[in-house]
Each structure stands twice: as C-alpha cells, then as structure tokens.
Amino acid sequence: SLRRQLCSLPEIGPVVSADIVASVPAISLVAGWLKYRHSSIGWFFQDVIGVGFLCMLQRTLRLPNIKVATLLLSVMFWFDIFWVFISPLLFKKSVMLEVAKGAGTGETVPMLLRIPQHNDPLGGERMLGFGDIALPGLLVSYLLRFDKLSKKSLLGGYFTPCVVGYFFGLAAATAVLAIT
C-alpha cells in the first residue's frame, strides 16, 4: 500500500511509500529544470514545477472570509500596478520585471510561468507571475467552500460564475501576452 509508513525523519515526519514514488518524477523535473533552464525547453520544466506549486498552494492556504479575500486582492492589484508600471518612472526600470528576469545575474526566479512566443524570430517569452494565478485562485477556493457550507448548488452559488470569470481573465491575460 502507498500509505504504508516506511520511516520517520527528524523535522520532516513520517515517510510513506507514496512519498518515495512521488519523489521520482519530482526529482526528475527539478533535475530537468536545473539542466535546461537556460535552453529553449527550460520553460516546460519551470511551468510543470510551477503548476504543481500552485496546486499545493491552493490545497494548503485558506482564506478565512470574504473581507480578507477582498483586501488581499485589492492590495495586490495596486501592488502589481505600482511595481510593473510606476516603478520604471522612479527607478528607470520595472522592478518586478528585473527581479523576474534575474536582475542581470543570468538566473531567473522560478516564480512565474514562462510562455514561449511562437513566430518570434528572437525566441522571446511572456511571463505570468504566480501571484496573478494563486491569489484569484484562493478566492475561487474560498467561494467553493462557502457554497458547500451554505448548501448552494453548483449553478446557484458563487463558485461557478467566479470560475468562469477567472477562466476568461486568465485567457485574456494569456491572449495579451501572445499578442504583445
């Protein structure tokens, strides 16, 4: 059984068979990213690791109420606008883009999804930060829990319209990244 405990490690806790099985593809993905991160296929490894991280984040973090969700999304909206669009006026460069691109070190921070730009003779990429995915995702998760606790149907609650809006928002962001 994959739930059978194999051992217990200090500071980690119990290790079950499923942990060992899951470590094989996890280590392979990280090794692939370390080897190919500067190549034309590095985005694939970074994006798969990123999607796994985002899924884990959604399963781990819980917003306590809609007030916290509203405050968090509002603050992050203005945070993004400042660091992407206003910081170049103050610092001559977009601080957020510089950090995402490694600030001249040649290393990029794997905290974003890299989307290759097709038909680009220079082989460019577009970037979508984890915050642009994870924070609205926390609202979606909250609304699903709220609907279940309120015994609302899938179509009668807030979850479905939120997922539809979230889908169109991410699709629009991806389309803008592909066009520009």
Nearest alpha-carbon partner for 112 in 95, 98, 93, 132: 132
Q: At what angle do helices 159-179 and 131-149 cross, to 10 degrees?
A: 170
Q: Rounded to an integer, what distance in angstroms lies between the CA atom of residue 57 and that of residue 138?
A: 9
Catalytic residue list = 80, 132
Q: Which helix (H) or strand (E) holds 122?
A: none
Number of H helices, E strands in the chain: 7, 4
- Give me 36's structure tokens: 């190919």
Residue 119 in contact with residue 131, Cβ under 8 Å? no
Cβ neighbors of 17 (< 8 A, separation 6 or more) are 1, 2, 3, 4, 6
